[in-house]
Each structure stands twice: as C-alpha cells, then as structure tokens.
Amino acid sequence: MNSELTFRQGLKNTLPTVFGYIGIGAAFGMIGHSAGFSAWVILLLSLIVYAGSAQFIIITMLAVHSPLLSIVLSVFLVNSRIILMSMTTASYFKNESLLKNIFIGTLLTDETFALGMNKQNYTEGKLSFSWFNASNILAYTVWALSSLMGALLGNLLTNPEKLGLGFAIIAMFIGLLYLQLIGDKTLDLKLQLLMVGITLILFYFGLIFIPSNLLIIFVTLLVCAIGVGVIHVFF
C-alpha cells in the first residue's frame, strides 16, 4: 500500500479484500436460495440492504414469518455500529459536499472502513473521495454479484457451510488488523496490542451478559474510552 489516493489506486488497494466478499456473498446467496427466495430477491437484498449480517437476519426472519417491526429493529441494532464508523469517516471529508459524504456513508462497510483507516497511515492522515469511492463501489459490486452467483449455484450446493466460506471474511480482517499494527506509526505498538487484548477479553466475557447485536457498539465505545485513558496515563 502506498500514499496515492486516486480512484485507480482505490481499486487496487481494495482488490485483495474482495475474496472475503465473494465467500460470504456466495454463502448468503446459497442460504437464501435454500430458504426459498428467488435469485432476483436475493440480488435486490444485496443491492438495497447491502449489509451481510443484516441480510442473513432478514432471510431467516422472513422464512419464519416474523413481524416486520421485529425485522426492522433487529437490522437496526445489528447495523448500529455503522453510525460510529460513519462519524469517524466523515471527519476526513469535511471539505467535501454533503452529497459526497452521503454517498460514501451509504456504501460504507466494516471492510472498507478498516481499509480506509489503514490507508490513512500511509497518507499522513488523509483520505480522498476518489479513493474511498472506488473502494466502496468495488466492494458493493462484488458483494451483489457474489450473492447472485450463490443463488444461481444454490441447486448444486445444498450445504455451503461445509466449504468453510465463512472463514474468508475472518481471514481478511486478520490481515487488515496486521496491516494496521505495522502501518500506524502514530501509536506505540505495545499500546495497540494492549487494546487488541482488552477488546478480545471484553468480547469473550461480554457474550455471556450482552446480546451479540448490542455487544459490538458497546465494546467499541468502552474500548475507545479505555484507550484514551491509557494514552494519557501511560503513553
């Protein structure tokens, strides 16, 4: 990864992460097909909702005829973390128009956010609309096409979980975390490793007491507060 912030460079930087989208997107399409949804419905879900975990929730709840309000609330809670990520991302585009900010926020995902935060380590804390737009568009396109592909292949693979496609997204995040640790020169490596450890511990014990759809946003806010305190006291 380098300091270029062009549209073309955005595509290049995002390309290695698309395998995560392909694996999860195909799995979503196959599971949606096995639940009785047509390929067009699955494609529209990916184009309109565009949120992996939320889409799995939608097809699961629709399949058992859950109330519409329950589905909407569940999707909101699962995706509430995007509010925090959008607020963080918006700080890099204060000089851009409202329309451009809305466009970036609309297509923002966990993966493109993590990629952007890693990218700014190489650009003196700067991000451009062209670069981020390219990353979002590529991710959006690959996700939609992967979902459609999975739906069309649903007849061939009745149990997609056996392929281990779900691990693709985990492997991608591990790679992004590693790049963040070695690329961010503004924070001490010991501090970063400490915060990673605290995050893992909070998630492990948090799953016992807090619903998973609320745990992400809760741990994010708590670790941010702890991190600020640790920096001021020890670093």
**pLDDT per residue over 17-71, tens digit each?**
888 788 888 888 888 888 889 999 999 999 999 988 889 889 888 888 888 888 8
The answer on 209 and 170 residing in a single domain is no
User: What confidence tens digit (pLDDT) does each residue in 210-234 have?
Assistant: 877 677 778 878 888 888 888 777 7
The per-residue pLDDT of the chain, averaged, comes to 85
The tally of domains found in the chain comes to: 2
Please tell me the predicted confidence (pLDDT) of residue 138: 96
Examine residue 1 and state whether it is found in any structural domain, yes or no: no
Which whole number is the average pLDDT over 3-13?
93
Residues of the domain holding 224: 187-235
Per-residue confidence (pLDDT) for residue 65, from 0 to 100:
84
Q: Looking at the domain assignment, is residue 155 inside a domain?
A: yes
Question: What percent of the chain lies above the pLDDT cut of 90?
Answer: 38
Q: What is the pLDDT of residue 227?
A: 84
- Name the band, by pLDDT with cuts 50, 70 and 90, for residue 123: very high
Q: Mean pLDDT throughout 111-122?
A: 90
Query: Does 107 reside within a domain?
Result: yes
97 & 30 share domain: yes
Q: How many CA atoms lie within 13 A of 216 on its CB side?
A: 14
pLDDT in tens, 86-116: 999 999 999 999 999 999 999 999 889 989 9
Q: What pLDDT, on the 0 to 100 scale, is given for residue 163?
A: 62
Is residue 174 scored above 80 in pLDDT? no
Do 53 and 133 reside in the same domain of the chain?
A: yes
Is residue 231 located within the same domain as residue 205? yes
Structure confidence at residue 102 (pLDDT):
94
User: What predicted TM-score, i.e. pTM, was given to this entire model?
Assistant: 0.76
Out of 1-10, 72-81, 82-91, 120-129, pick the least confident: 72-81
User: Domain check: are 134 and 206 in the same one?
Assistant: no
